[in-house]
Structure 1
């Protein structure tokens, strides 16, 4: 028996037979181009989506483990007790019923683009180059995998940037993905853990980061 929870930001699938928890997001794309650049072809769109999905999966998938705890020995779900579940992530390209609208823009080589996520209206703004590694000043990461973190309710952690202040608690953790680095942290799945722990009566999950 699988367990499913749908939210406005993603859907959660607990699959005991595969010992997997899947976070599935549906993205509806809006494709745009800077002046003077050719329009997106279907093959370019498909390739970009596949690359983005792969970058996110490689960064986020199979690194977090959920350990099931059943609190009543008479619980019908006792077979889940002390089982380990891998956390996986999947981005689906949809045309309706999306969680997020992803605005992806082809930009020129010298164009400065401010990639961001607006959680309040469920919109993502990305440049076509955001699936590639970016090395600018002290930033060395793929932008798309950083911005994905915002879609699962993780705040920026890099402190002061361009005059704006974000979460100051982890400002010195510069190797962290939601700062300016590439490393995951256990704190990044707090929102997911809260939701997962409400899905199966009498069952909660401890979590840890398996690097």
Structure 2
């Protein structure tokens, strides 16, 4: 029997778990990426991590994601039933155990005066490793190679890398260099291309539907 959208649909991928909740009061796409943190100390930092700090940074990361995706909606068109609906998104980071992690996150505690650009943050898909530091929760104003600047935050940017969009659009080779407001450039706006793996997974879950950003 072919799968229909009336069934519970969920998928585990190497990068995240995705679920389509199409028939609740507030229909939505739920995506959780499970991160296993390694708590490191940066140069000159000697105070060890305590649980209160660990919870604080994990919670702030999720708040930054909630803000980044606050206006994002996904359109689902059921081709076999002739209707379209709009889904909210609930994208979050789960604090996972090593056994169940999607990603290992090397989170470095740095001096409070450090800026987000002081140390390089990056996602390494081949090793399923993310490098972040505590200054990454701060907004900053980067410049791309075209000399354009914008207000930016590293956490949702790196999260989008982690869920499948591996391109940086601030580089000369990017066809989207001119899209300054893009969150994968120097801005904060989400584009459909950034969610292409998510949309493809949804269509894999529900072959008789098409998904796009609303």
1:178 paired residue among 158, 175, 184: 184
State the partner residue of 1:150: 161
Distance 2:15 2:184 in 1: 18
> Helix, strand or coil: the match of 1:197?
helix
Distance 1:194 1:136 in 2: 31
- Answer whether contact 2:142 2:152 (CA < 8 A) is retained: no
Structure 1: unaligned runs, 5 residues or longer: 72-77, 161-166
Bigger share in strand: 1
Distance 2:40 2:54 in 1: 11
2:131 paired residue among 106, 125, 136: 125
Cα shift readout 1:69-123 (whole Å, capped 9, x = no counterpart): 132xxxxxx4x94232222202100123100111110113358311000011111
1:83 paired residue among 75, 85, 90: 85
Give the drift of 1:54: 1.1
- Answer whether contact 1:61 1:89 (CA < 8 A) is retained: no
Number of paired residues?
195
State the partner residue of 1:36: 44
Sort the Cα spacing of 1:98 and 1:175 in 2 relative to 1 into closer, same or farther, 3 A. Answer: same
> Helix, strand or coil: the match of 1:147?
helix
- TM-score w.r.t. the length of structure 1 is 0.85
Distance 1:99 1:175 in 2: 29
